[in-house]
Amino acid sequence: MSTSDETSAWRWMAVTAIQALTESRAGRVADAERHAVEQSEQQATFQRQIVQDREDFLALMAHELKTPVAVVKAYAELLEVQLAEGALPGQPGRAIAEVVEHIREQADLMSGLIEEVLDVQRVQLGKLPLEISRFDLVQLTRGVAEEITRLTPSQAIHVVVCQPLAHVHADRRHVRQVLVNLLENAVKYSSAGDIEVRVRQTEHEGRAVALVSVRDQGVGLASGNLERIFDRFVQAENQPVRGHEGLGMGLYVARQLALAHGGYVWAESPGKGCGSTFYFRLPIEEPSAMDRTV
């Protein structure tokens, strides 16, 4: 091969190598740009979802607080009229006492909504402290059932204790909130039939646990909704048969509070129109220090 041929061959190889490097670099640049675009689109979608969740949440809060605020205002105005007509604050008549009671009930409702929102925030931030104490879960369950029954006397709630149950070590206020949320949910979506609450002791993964089940004969759940209803801001597809719609956070909060104790909340249902059963599993022994803040 002549010198000129060798020079041409080397030149061709160099040009080919440069082209290959250029194409490779262009490919990497294109991939990087594509990846950056995808990340930007994902970030934009995430931001839009945050804004949408915030708007949905604010709309729900405004809707839920509007009614009790209006009721408190109306009763306060009525109380003002009654006092102006000569009733003395130190000697309230029956009518005034009833007005005050209604105002207190609506204030409690608003406080409960606000506390629910705060618990959701604490869970999301990982700052939900647990105040552990030893208490009787059966007694607490019966108390919650009686309280819900007083608020909705048309709905009978029966508590069945299957066997003697050891006292549990947990945060009593948060466990009570789980029970309230589950029972209120059962009442909300039940038009007929009694609600049965069963409390028993069993085992889960070799660990002694208390198991509370809340069975209703209400609207039931499709299989695709058995997990979805535990997401934030989610309502069941069926309309509630009584009461306000709520913020769509009751079941979400119930599950998160159960998880904070090393327990769990889940639902089972044969299908729409066939009722539902919600389960609350709670370890009986005291949770470790690592489990006390979630």
pLDDT at residue 211 is higher than 70: yes
User: Could you tell me the pLDDT band of residue 277, with boundaries at 50, 70 and 90?
Assistant: very high
Check: CB of residue 277 under 8 Å from CB of residue 268.
yes
Check: CB of residue 252 under 8 Å from CB of residue 199.
no
Q: Best-predicted range by mean pLDDT among 39-43, 171-175, 215-219?
A: 171-175
Check: CB of residue 168 under 8 Å from CB of residue 182.
no
User: Could you tell me the pLDDT band of residue 88, with boundaries at 50, 70 and 90?
Assistant: low
Global pTM reads: 0.65
Identify the three-state secondary structure at position 265: strand
Q: How is the chain split into domains, by residue range?
A: 1-127, 134-291
User: Could you tell me the pLDDT band of residue 290, with boundaries at 50, 70 and 90?
Assistant: very low
Query: What is the structure's pLDDT at 170?
Result: 94
Topology alike, domains 1-127 and 134-291: no
Query: What are the strands, taking DSSP E only, across 136-263?
Result: 157-161, 168-171, 195-204, 207-216
Query: What is the structure's pLDDT at 200?
Result: 94
User: 1-127 sits in which CATH class?
Assistant: mainly alpha
Work out the end-to-end distance of the chain between its first and last CA atoms, rounded to an integer number of angstroms.
78
pLDDT tens digit sequence for 228-253:
888 876 665 555 555 545 556 789 88
165: Cβ–Cβ under 8 A, 6 or more apart, which residues?
137, 138, 199, 200, 201, 210
User: 134-291 sits in which CATH class?
Assistant: alpha beta
Lowest average pLDDT, out of 12-21, 213-222, 276-285, goes to 12-21
Lowest average pLDDT, out of 11-15, 43-47, 68-72, goes to 11-15
